[in-house]
Amino acid sequence: MDHLIHHMLRSSTERAPGKEALVHGSDRLDYAELARRCAGLAGSLRALGLERGDRVGILLDPGVSQTVSILAVSEAGGVFVPINAALFPDQVAHIVADCDMRVLITTSRRGAALAPALHQPTTLTSLIVDDDAEELADHDLAAHRIDDLIPDGAVAPLPDLCIGRDLAALLYTSGSTGSPKGVMVSHAQVMAGASIVSTYLGITSEDRILAVLPFSFDAGLNQLMTAIQRGGTILPLGFTFAREIVAALEAEHITGLAGVPTLWALLTQPRAGLGKADLTDLRYVTNTGGHLGGPVLAELRRQLPSTDVVLMYGLTEAFRSTYLPPDEIDARPGSMGRAIPNTEILVVAPDGTQCRPGEIGELVHRGPTVSLGYWGRPDLTAERLRPHPFRSPTESGHELVCYSGDLVRMDEDGYLYFVGRADSMIKTSGYRVSPTEVEEVAMSSGLLQGAAAVGIPDDILGQSIVLFVLADDDAAVDGAAVTAHCAGHAPPYMVPKQVVVMDELPMTSTGKYDYNALRSVALERTP
């Protein structure tokens, strides 16, 4: 019985050891070879002292080593922490310190850049690099080449240290304030997500899934897990141009692709060549990470007339909540869909009662993919994960459900429509961004006396970031300089699209920035 993530790999290997499992560039691994490498690295991790539940960061570009590392950490009994390669060293250092990371798998270049930002003393005991470890020879940490840790020949499977309820991964995501928080996900929750998505997308061993979303993103990680669970083929791809994705779709006979609104906006541009490529094998595409605007959705469907377009909604704390079947897109424009299989979606009013159809309330998710909460933050966990609002502890067995913070309304048939956020979070380019994070980066420029970030609707990004700023000591502020500073200290999705210089920032009666008033100003400025 499969109850741990790496069991899915073992089962698929037993069924078809010679089946192509992982493709990246010229590297093509069948299931037997993928399982061998994962078992080899897992054994070496234990030999290095990794113990049950130890956190292992994975800061690598898409490829063979990244995929092997994720599965090997599971097999070794550790907790994998996939880190977005777009993050800057100080942001990575926060994650390392926050989760008491023991091992980091990365490259020599990234390891060297990270070293000055690490909190001292650090909890890291080992660095594993996907290139030449000699570049880190003068570093205090023991450095090993990942290839040296994967022995040649067959490797016996390791005895399991965990059960399905144990922590498998930490996925770092922004909260409403402050630095990113680690969402705790168990083996059982990851596997439930794979089973549920495979069910409504009809994924089988014949599917070839192109993974362009990062594995640090829950939807990206799910693509890997569904492929491994079903015995399909996963093709991780880091890309620069949309036409590279189109070329891969055609050349590799891809059957499934997941993306966020910004990706679809790029792919539907004429220069991408999506509508001209032979994509007869492309069975489905899915959208997540934000609302897909009508014009882009229409163009995507026009250019892919034989491909199912499946719209989805989710949040890292509960994975996926709803999906809209392709045959409902025209009948229910703007809908985020209905509950995914084996999941109940409730719409709860501010007074705690259940909303009637058409009434606006908070989306509450109940089901097997609800996470374990936030690493080291029981206060935030208690805010997000709460008892079932309409069932007694006796009835529910003290089950916790996930309060999303998203305001929605449900129609008579159970289909939901997004209204807005109950908090100030900005959802842009498929990422949740805390205004505080943007403001802290901007303030670190030394150019400002104050900064406040809001999100406004954007057909391409979902929401775009508008940053309102006050000059420091009455000096003139160059908005371009602020933008440039943000671009040099934060990943692209956190860089403001607009910087607006203000004489003063509106405040609430409690002395805080009035984000509602600023959002209204931003909307008035939008053409």
pLDDT at 138 over 80: no
Given a cut of 70, whether residue 512 has pLDDT beyond it is: no
Q: What is the mean pLDDT of residues 74-95?
A: 95
What digits encode the pLDDT tens for the residues 163-190? Answer: 999 999 999 987 555 678 999 999 999 9
Judging by beta carbons within 10 Å of its beta carbon (0-12, 13-18, 19+), is residue 163 exposed, middle or buried?
exposed
Percent of the chain at pLDDT above 70? 96
* CA–CA distance, 69 with 79 (Å, rounded to integer): 11
**Rounded to two decimals, what is the model's pTM?**
0.87
Contact yes or no for 187/6 (Cβ under 8 A): no
Residue 525 — very low, low, confident or very high, per pLDDT cuts 50/70/90? confident
73, pLDDT greater than 60: yes
Alpha helices in 99-210 (DSSP H): 108-114, 187-201
pLDDT 10s digits, 91-129? 999 999 999 999 999 999 999 899 889 988 889 999 999
Q: What is the pLDDT of residue 393?
A: 81
End-to-end CA distance of the chain: 57
Q: What is the rounded average pLDDT of the residues 378-386?
A: 95
Strands 400-410, 416-421: pairing is antiparallel
pLDDT score of 394: 80
Residue by residue, DSSP assigns 10-64 as: HHHHHH-TTSEEEEETTEEEEHHHHHHHHHHHHHHHHHTT--TT-EEEE---SSH
Around Cβ 364, how many Cβ atoms within 10 Å?
A: 23
Residue type, 6: H
Q: What is the 3-state secondary structure (H, E, C) of 475-500?
A: CCCCHHHHHHHHHHHCCHHHCCCEEE
Tokens of 427: 């959802």
Q: Tokens for 108, please give them.
A: 């020599």
| Identity of the amino acid at 341 | P
pLDDT tens-digit profile of 418-427?
A: 887 777 778 8
Tell me the mean pLDDT in the region 444-469: 88
CA–CA separation, 458 and 319 (whole Å): 24
Q: Are 146 and 28 in contact (CB under 8 A)?
A: no
Across 377-381, 472-476, 489-493, least confident range: 472-476
Distances (CA, A) of 481 to 167, 443, 466: 43, 12, 15
Domain spans of the chain?
5-238, 317-421, 426-525
Q: Which of 48, 49, 68, 72 is nearest to 60 (CA)?
A: 68
Cβ-proximal residues to 91 (8 Å cutoff; 6+ apart), any chain = 180, 490, 491
Cis peptide bond upstream of 121, omega within 30: yes
How far is Cα 80 from Cα 182, in angstroms, rounded to an integer? Answer: 11
Q: Is 429 left (phi over 0), alpha (psi -120 to 50) or beta?
A: left
Among the four given CATH numbers 3.30.1370.60, 1.20.1260.10, 3.30.1370.140, 2.30.38.10, the one describing domain 317-421 = 2.30.38.10
pLDDT, residue 473, reads 60
| DSSP state letter for 271 | G
Type of residue at 426: I
Checking if the pLDDT of 215 tops 80, the result is: yes
Give the strand pairing for 103-106 and 55-58: parallel
Report residue 398 as tokens: 């003290």
DSSP state of 173: E
pLDDT at residue 334 above 60? yes
CATH for 426-525? 3.30.300.30
What's the CATH number for 5-238?
A: 3.40.50.980
Q: What are phi and psi of 308, to 5 degrees?
A: -75, 130
With the C-alpha atoms ordered 108, 114, 115, 116, is the resulting torsion angle positive or negative? positive
Helix axes 218-230, 187-201, angle to 10 degrees: 80
Place of tokens 């669970």: 229
pLDDT at 24: 97
Backbone angles phi, psi at 36, to 5 degrees: -65, -45
Q: Amino acid letter at 43? A: G
Average of pLDDT values for 490-519? 84
